[in-house]
Amino acid sequence: MIHYAGARHSRSTAAFCLLILINIPIDCCHGPRVHGTDIDVKAAAVLHNLPASAQPDAREMSAAKVDLGRSLFYDRILSLDYSLSCGSCHRQQMAFSDGNTVSRGVDNEVGYRNAPTIINASVMQSLAWDGGSVTLEQQILKAIVNPVELNLDTLQLVRRLRDHGRYAEGFRAAFAEKSAISAANAASAIASFVRTISSANSPFDRYKRGDSAALSPAARHGQALFFSARTNCVACHSGFNFSDDQFHNTGLFFRYEDRGRFYVSEDYKDEAKFKTPTLRNIAHTAPYMHNGSKASLDEVLAHYNSGGVYHRNKDSLIKPLNLSPAEISDLKEFLLALSDDEVLHNPNYADPNKQ
Ligand code: HEC
Ligand code: HEC
């Protein structure tokens, strides 16, 4: 066991492993098994009802790495002025978003984008609104050094981690290397923790698994609308995580301040296009859009129903929908049924120092 975050932390890790063990009989003969201290991601996935396609890569995961990553995720020594941690902008009770239009970093520096949820990030093919990071590790290092986020350079990071004696053992346990404390290993551990943050137990999931009472008649009507050619929502919000992992312009503005995907591709056809966000846990992640410009789901739905404003890159699927107020209300019921409240209270995702 690792002690850098205190005995309480170790207890919760033990509880997580135990939950996994309890779950094994569900798929006893060809499935999950626990190997030493390795987290059995398949077992964890069964526990969270994740489909096979959404399971994190087992090679990235071990209990020691996840434990270390979780402590780092909530540690403010990762920010220049010790004021913020990852958990300040990705707050569990807000489904790992922060409730602000755009985030504020150290020194209250105003960022330029809305903090998206990080739930199910392990299935995202690219990260950030412009897909500028291909791996979680990359996104995490960027958050650490970004002047409007944690604003700490990697040398300072390593110095601080070395100075905090409590991390020496955690890094040694997670990485079988002599000088295990490095920025890359810190990012790798945090990424392992983030990969465990998953959610697939919303009323919609329960309905799909056969619990016909999980969705109200209104939500079921909204579901039919969502998946219909009339709204085309599912053309972009597709698959397990309700995202096609592609970039689109949805006609929010005539002039965008943020050039979105263009920053990555430098192709004018990508100007003002943004990654399709997941719709899971959307009840808890207001305000919406890359810049938080829509305060509520009502505003989002009013936007789609109107077809948005002209933009030369606007997707042809974004056009007036002529939905009635009752249809909009049902569509909203469906969106609300994509939220999984377990994820807000799962003790394995919480700040280990506050339990
Ligand atoms: C100051 C607030 C802030 C802090 C601190 C912060 N983030 Fe973020 N995070 C954001 C914002 C804003 C974005 C969107 C960035 C973009 O699109 O350019 C983001 C994006 C992400 C994403 C991609 C999600 C997606 O849907 O593409 C992940 C994963 C993530 N952050 C994890 C972390 C981790 C781990 C840390 C700690 C090392 C961290 N963040 C620190 C605000 C923050
Ligand atoms: C052409 C692809 C496309 C279609 C069709 C589409 N969306 Fe979106 N959706 C996106 C993109 C891209 C964004 C982010 C846009 C931005 O921030 O600039 C988004 C954002 C959202 C958001 C805000 C999510 C958040 O976390 O900020 C919601 C809610 C949403 N869409 C619901 C719907 C619904 C409901 C429909 C059908 C009426 C729909 N979308 C149709 C691509 C699409």
| pLDDT tens-place string over residues 176-189 | 877 799 999 999 99
Residue boundaries of the structural domains of the chain: 7-200, 203-336
**Amino acid found at 4:** Y
| d(C-alpha 329, C-alpha 321), whole Å | 14
Nearest CA to ligand 2 atom 13: 276
**Start-end of H helices in 154-227:** 154-163, 166-174, 183-196, 203-208, 217-226
Q: Does residue 287 have a cis bond before it (omega within 30 degrees)?
A: yes
pLDDT at 353: 86
The yes or no reply on domain 203-336 and CATH 1.10.760.10 is: yes
Highest average pLDDT, of 40-44, 165-169, 335-339, comes from 335-339
- Block residue for tokens 């409240």: 341
Residue range 7-200, CATH number? 1.10.760.10
Q: Is 157 in the pocket of ligand 1 (CB under 6 A)?
A: no
Ligand nearest to the CA of 303: 2
Query: Measured from the CB, is residue 89 less than 6 Å from ligand 1?
Result: yes
The predicted-structure confidence for 295-308, as pLDDT tens digits, reads as follows: 999 999 999 999 99
Task: Tell which atom from ligand 2 comes closest to the C-alpha of 246.
Answer: 12
CA dihedral of 50, 54, 57, 61, whole degrees rounded to 10: -40
| pLDDT for residue 18 is more than 80 | no
pLDDT at position 269 over 90? yes
- Name, in order, each residue with C-beta under 8 angstroms of 165's C-beta and a sequence gap of 6 or more: none
310's CB contacts (< 8 A; 6+ apart) are: 251, 254
pLDDT of residue 123: 92
Note the pLDDT tens digit of each residue in 280-298: 999 999 999 999 999 999 9
CA distance 87 to 75: 8
Arithmetic mean of pLDDT over the chain: 87
What is the tens place of the pLDDT at every residue in 233-245?
A: 999 999 999 999 9
The closest ligand to the CA of 311 turns out to be 2
Given a cut of 60, whether residue 208 has pLDDT beyond it is: yes
Closest ligand (CA of 284): 2
Residue whose CB lies within 8 A of the most ligand 2 atoms, among 250, 293, 327, for a mutation test? 250
Is pTM beyond 0.85? Reply is: yes
pLDDT, tens digit, 9 for 90 and up, residues 40-67: 555 555 556 666 666 666 666 899 999 9
pLDDT of 104-163, one tens digit each?
888 888 889 999 999 999 999 999 999 999 999 999 999 999 999 999 999 999 999 999
β 274-275/247-248 pair status: antiparallel
The radius of gyration of the chain's CA atoms, rounded to the nearest angstrom, is 21
The pLDDT of residue 108 is 84
Q: Is residue 223 pLDDT above 50, yes or no?
A: yes
Kind and range of the H or E run holding 248: strand 247-248
How confident is the model at residue 35, as a pLDDT? 32
223 vs 50, which has greater pLDDT? Answer: 223
The CB of 264 under 6 Å from ligand 1? The reply is no
Q: According to the model, what pLDDT value does residue 36 have?
A: 33
Mean pLDDT value of segment 57-85: 91
Q: Which of 230, 232, 237 to mutate to test the pocket of ligand 2 (most atoms within 8 A of CB)?
A: 237
The CA-atom distances, in angstroms, between 309 and each of 230, 231, 289 are: 19, 17, 15
Whole-angstrom distance, CA of residue 58 vs CA of residue 313: 39
Q: Is the pLDDT of residue 7 over 80?
A: no
Please tell me the predicted confidence (pLDDT) of residue 30.
29
Q: In the beta sheet, which residues pair with residue 97?
A: 91
Q: Which of 285, 323, 294 is nearest to 306 (CA)?
A: 323
Domain 203-336 in the same topology as domain 7-200:
yes
For ligand 1, say whether the CB of 139 is within 6 Å of any of its atoms: yes
- Which range among 35-44, 269-278, 333-342 shows the weakest confidence by mean pLDDT? 35-44
